[in-house]
Amino acid sequence: MQVYLDNAATTKTDGRVLKAMLPYFSVDYGNPSSIHTLGQDNFNVLTKARERAAKLLGAEPRGIIFTSSATEANNYLIKGIARANRKKGDHIIISALEHPCVRESARQLEKDGFRVSVIPANSEGLIETAELEKLIDKQTVLVSVMMVNNEIGTIQDIAALAKIAKKHGAFFHTDAVQAVPYLKINVKELGVDALSLSAHKFGGPKGVGLAYLNPAIYAEPLIIGGGQEDGKRAGTYNLPGIIGLVEALELAYKERSEYLKRVKKLRDRLWDGLKKKLPDIQANGTLKERVPANLNVMFGYVEGEAILIDLSYKGVYVSTGSACSATNLKASNVLSAIGLSKHFLNSNIRFSLGKETTEKEIDYTIKMVVETVGRLREFSPVSHL
């Protein structure tokens, strides 16, 4: 049996999405920037796709910029907004839970002379508004806090945090990559100036992302050249990818309510099953303000990597930290930020369920995890202390 529980790393491209993308590879393949009909017809398709994305996010079409990934969207929005508005101030704030592409963008700004402050997380994995209030000042030009954490799935109160930024005259960005379809996203209602998404996290293709930027705000472009995306992001339009992103976004929200109920039941079944059968385990981060597809568990006295590899042999695919740090065995910054003891920092597994997860798969996973952890603990030098 194969059980894929790594949907926060990437999801399978939905067959309906793939079908919608296919014509734009070898039938309607014109470059939307070309002046002839094959090009202009595709420019119209692109315009419609932008309008569809804007409608889903409560944004104006002019605020939608298609990119190659959320990594690019985050780099563009964070560095671009800060650099273009340096006269306003030289201070930026990010949260302690951010994805490496946000942290590294902030670090690069720091090298360019910006001051960077980091809002701590509490032990539940939440960012408190009072902590932002303590750090924000007149020089703060941008605040960036992710909507949903990729490792522990915790949900931040973005509207409340954005309100504080606005009160102090700072722009607000949120990395919403892990929020679709779990949270409804309306940029106006949330009060955010900038937001990032990635198609492959919600049934779309890899290699395409979306940056939302309030059209009244200027950000210095990251990629310059042919003037595409209204001069905000150069490079030939990836029309099949863009169609895939928009199609996947529409489907994700259309099928949302039924999916949320189903996935929460399965996640709770997994947690209950593990708790019942294994001592010395703990869920990392609150289970309340958390997306229903995520479970991150600390298994005392065993290495997360050892669990992952053994489970992989049994056909169960999970992750330790975030997938982006699979080549980097440094302890997770997220688990450190929520105060997990250093003895347990390498004993964690992230299970991320998805649209195709079944009850049978969850029961198989429980059985395999119990077997793996039990066996590894027999060899663990510290498990009997």
Binding flags for ligand PLP, 62-91, as an x/- string (CB under 6 A): -------xxx--------------------
Count, residues in the chain: 385
Q: Is 101 one of the catalytic residues?
A: no
Active-site residue, selected from the candidate residues 22, 324, 331, 345 = 324
Residue 338's contacts (CB-CB under 8 Å, 6 or more residues apart) are: 121, 122, 123, 124, 125, 152, 284, 285
Assess 177 for contact with ligand PLP (CB under 6 A).
yes
Q: Which listed residue (14, 131, 175, 193) binds ligand PLP by CB under 6 A?
A: 175
Among 62, 327, 5, smallest CA distance to 215 is for 62
Does a cis peptide bond (omega within 30 degrees of 0) precede residue 292? no
Query: Toward ligand PLP, which CB reaches closer, 80 or 89?
Result: 80
Query: Toward ligand PLP, which CB reaches closer, 296 or 322?
Result: 322
Rg (CA), the chain: 21
- In this structure, are residues 336 and 151 in contact, taking their beta carbons and an 8 Å threshold? no
Token readout for 99 is 């994805």
**Minimum distance of ligand PLP from residue 276's CB (angstroms):** 30
Assess 223 for contact with ligand PLP (CB under 6 A).
no
Tell me the angle at which helices 239-254 and 37-57 cross, rounded to the nearest 10 degrees: 30
Residues 133-162 that bind ligand PLP (CB under 6 A): 146, 150
CA distances from 128 to 100, 132, 137, 154, 156 (A): 21, 7, 17, 12, 9
Assess 101 for contact with ligand PLP (CB under 6 A).
yes
Query: Toward ligand PLP, which CB reaches closer, 152 or 165?
Result: 152
Q: Which stretch binds ligand PLP (CB under 6 A): 29-37, 111-119, 170-178, 252-260?
A: 170-178
Q: Which stretch binds ligand PLP (CB under 6 A): 127-135, 172-180, 181-189, 242-250?
A: 172-180
Query: Toward ligand PLP, which CB reaches closer, 233 or 377?
Result: 233
Quickly count: other Cβ atoms within 10 Å of residue 378's Cβ. 8
Measure the CA–CA gap between 330 and 345, rounded to whole angstroms. Answer: 9
Query: Toward ligand PLP, which CB reaches closer, 102 or 239?
Result: 102
**Minimum distance of ligand PLP from residue 198's CB (angstroms):** 3
The neighbouring-strand residues paired with 178 are none
Binding stretches for ligand PLP (CB under 6 A): 69-71, 99, 101, 146, 150, 175, 177-178, 198, 209, 322-324
Active site residues: 324
